[in-house]
Amino acid sequence: MAGLTIRNVIKKYGNTQVMHGVDLDIEDGEFIVFVGPSGCGKSTLLRMIAGLEDLSGGEISIGDRVVNEVPPSKRGVAMVFQTYALYPHMTVFNNMAFGLKQVKTPPAEIDRRVNEAAKILEIEDYLDRTPRALSGGQRQRVAIGRAIVREPEVFLFDEPLSNLDAALRGQTRLEIARLHERLGSTMIYVTHDQVEAMTLADKIVVLRGGRVEQVGRPMDLYEKPQNLFVASFIGSPSMNFFEAEMSENGVSIGGANPVSTSKLDKAAVTVGVRPEHLILCPQAEAALSGKIDVVEQLGDHVLLHMATNDGLEFVAKMEKAPTLSRGEVLHFKAKEDTIHLFDKSSGIRLD
């Protein structure tokens, strides 16, 4: 097992720079998730760690060893791809054994490792089948098994659940979490799905445009996003934002009553409130009022898509809601200590 150090890593394709000096410290045994929108550089960074892409600048170390010039097979990493990348004509056993045979692992040792991995992943009954005779979920387990048998210091996962249907995605996500508990290895996992990031990660790295926006534990990012981008990316449905004015009594977000908050020297701020932190209240106490546009009934909760008189849209998430219909006016306040304040021009967190 090993941790990683990433120092000022830069990547250029021709004249286009796509990574702009990334610094990261990953501890031994941590589960790290790189998350961000498509094109932000998640896969590129993962592939640079794997040795599948050269660095244009900076340094990557795995354990104490700088690996910039070390070929992929000698880095002690194993990668699981979105597309599984299995050999179609080989049995499951041989797919898992292939890498070990190539490095001349003794057959008894190959048997031991493949059988052990198959047991962990509950694919022992399929070892003689070819991938064609497996479901998508089983194929992905074989791909993970192929990584496990190599006993890597670091596991790298590139969107491993993207090709699975929703139910299987949930189940496989849980299996990956269990695998991490069991093996205790360092794992780096790329996804654009913030739910996967929140549920799997010890530490999330939010990327945008080839830069790190924030690194932190899932709940740190949820509770204290450092800027508007992270605030809007983490959490579902997304945080609501309001342009607002600070006054003596707090911050006004459109309703009659300001929300009390620590005093800031800024007059104009952007206020963020998560849909789950808005609560219904009498008009006299309201910080925000609006008309119902759409009601989404989701069983255990309801999403109310609202519009203010000024046409500003926001979402409120309720566990239960009174009988509601489009056009009805509702009044809200924010639960205590749940609002987020950001500098209007830079988007950086203020409180």
Count interface residues toward ligand ADP (CB under 6 A).
10
Rounded to the nearest 10 degrees, the angle between the axes of helix 107-121 and helix 136-148 is: 140
Q: Hey, which residues between 127 and 166 contact ligand ADP (CB under 6 A)?
A: none
Q: Which of 32-40, 132-140, 234-242, 323-331 is the region at the interface with ligand ADP (rule: CB under 6 A)?
A: 32-40
Q: Report the C-alpha gap between 323 and 49 in whole angstroms.
A: 53
Name the one range near ligand ADP by CB under 6 A: 39-47, 85-93, 107-115, 226-234: 39-47
Residue closer to ligand ADP by CB (options 17, 91) is 17
Residue 139 Cβ vs ligand ADP, minimum distance, rounded to whole Å: 22
Out of 44, 95, 214, 226, the only residue in the binding site for ligand ADP (CB under 6 A) is 44
- Is residue 55 within the footprint of ligand ADP (CB under 6 A)? no
For residue 308, how far is the Cα from the chain centroid?
Answer: 32
Q: Is residue 330 within 8 Å of 306, Cβ to Cβ?
A: yes
Q: Taking CB under 6 A as the rule, does residue 9 contact ligand ADP? A: no
Residue 76 phi, psi (nearest 5): 75, 25
Residue 15 in contact with ligand ADP, rule: CB under 6 A: no
Q: 119 is written with which tokens?
A: 């047991």
Whether omega before 237 lies within 30 degrees of 0, making that bond cis, reads yes
For residue 196, the minimal CB distance to ligand ADP (Å) is: 14
Of residues 159 and 276, the one with the C-beta less far from ligand ADP: 159
Q: What are phi and psi of 230, to 5 degrees?
A: -65, -40
Q: State which of residues 22, 32, 41, 334 lies at the interface with ligand ADP (CB under 6 A).
A: 41
Residue span binding ligand ADP (CB under 6 A) among the ranges 40-48, 245-253, 276-284, 322-330:
40-48
Residue 150 CB burial class (10 angstroms; 0-12, 13-18, ≥19): buried
CA distance 12 to 10: 7
Please tell me whether residue 43 binds ligand ADP under the rule CB under 6 A: yes
Burial of 99 (0-12, 13-18, 19+ CB in 10 A): middle
Nearer to ligand ADP, 36 or 235 (CB): 36
Using rule CB under 6 A, residue 18 touches ligand ADP = yes
Element (H, E) at 223: helix 218-223
The interface region with ligand ADP, picked from 37-45, 211-219, 243-251, 284-292 by CB under 6 A, is 37-45
Q: How far is the CB of 8 from ligand ADP (least distance, A)?
A: 18
Terminal CA-CA length for the chain: 38
Q: Which residue in the set 3, 21, 39, 237 belongs to the binding site for ligand ADP (CB under 6 A)? A: 39
Residue 42 in the binding site for ligand ADP (CB under 6 A): yes
Residue 183 CB, shortest distance to ligand ADP, in Å, is 25
Q: How many Cα atoms within 13 Å fall on the side-chain side of residue 323?
A: 0
CA distance 268 to 244: 6
- Among the listed residues 8, 13, 128, 335, the single contact to ligand ADP using CB under 6 A: 13
Residue 34: how many other CB atoms lie within 10 Å: 28
Q: Does 40 bind ligand ADP (CB under 6 A)?
A: yes
Nearest to 80 by CA among 160, 192, 152: 160
Q: Which residues bind ligand ADP (CB under 6 A)?
A: 13, 18, 36, 38-44
